[in-house]
Structure 1
Amino acid sequence: MRRDVPPLHPGQILVEDFMRPHNISRRALAEALQVSHTRIAGITRGTAAISADTAVRLAHYFDTSPWFWMNLQVRFDLQVADRQMPHPAECIAPLPLLVDPGVLAVPESKGGCVW
């Protein structure tokens, strides 16, 4: 993942690609989805995540799929996690090839990583 590009919150996509072109306010969207204005405000401000429940409602309203909305959220969450942790290669030893298929070897930690 590219660490030089800031993560794009799904709420920003909701506003720019769905609400603004159709001139839909936060309050109007909340009423249409039968959710609280606070939920939509949090999502559109980038301070709240899109839940599965909200994804289903957005998909029905905008004729998209719940997967579209959930994938946006997961992508954002992974980008944020990637930016907040050291590079995994610096901290996590990969599982070595198993010499004896009946024995699972646990790799030693490289240590020194604090998350």
Structure 2
Amino acid sequence: MEMYNPPHPGEVLKELYLPEGMGVSEAAKKLGVSRQTLSAIINGRAGISADMALRLSKALGTSADLWLKMQIKYDLWQAKQKPPKGVQKLAA
């Protein structure tokens, strides 16, 4: 069954995985990325790349697949809200 309006992975990261009281700057430093990069993810302005998924899996003890699957579910649901126009079948 398809999830209705899945959360952005950044929201999940912020709400469930970042230790309480840890700022974005400190978390970004521990992940080896810029504060701007992590902030964009947490605030839903950027997605989880394969590289970021590997960083999160190592830092949090999760799997990279978890983060990439969350991102795919989010992206696909968002795309389905505005289906592409002008697409025709390639074969008869």
Q: TM-score, normalised by structure 2?
A: 0.84
Q: Deviations over 1:14-52 (max 9, x none)?
A: 001111xx2222111100011011110000000000100
Q: Hey, what does 1:99 align to over in structure 2?
A: none
Tell me by how many angstroms 1:7 deviates: 3.8
Asked whether the 8 Å contact 1:43–1:49 carries over to 2, the reply is: yes
Greater relative CO (CA pairs within 8 A, separation 6+): 2
Tell me by how many angstroms 1:10 deviates: 0.6
Residue aligned with 1:15, SS: helix
1:41 aligns with 2:39: yes
1:51 aligns with 2:49: yes
Higher helix share: 2
Residue aligned with 1:69, SS: helix
Distance, in Å, in 2 between the alignment partners of 1:13 and 1:69 is 10
Residue aligned with 2:33, SS: coil
Q: Deviations over 1:67-111 (max 9, x none)?
A: 01101101101101111117xxxx766x9xxxxxxxxxx22xxxx
Asked whether the 8 Å contact 2:5–2:74 carries over to 1, the reply is: no
Q: Hey, what does 1:18 align to over in structure 2?
A: 17
Asked whether the 8 Å contact 1:7–1:80 carries over to 2, the reply is: no
Distance, in Å, in 1 between the alignment partners of 2:60 and 2:45 is 22
Q: TM-score, normalised by structure 1?
A: 0.69
Instruction: Give, as a single letter, the amino acid of the residue that structure 1 aligns with 2:16.
Output: D
Question: Aligned residues: percent identity?
Answer: 33
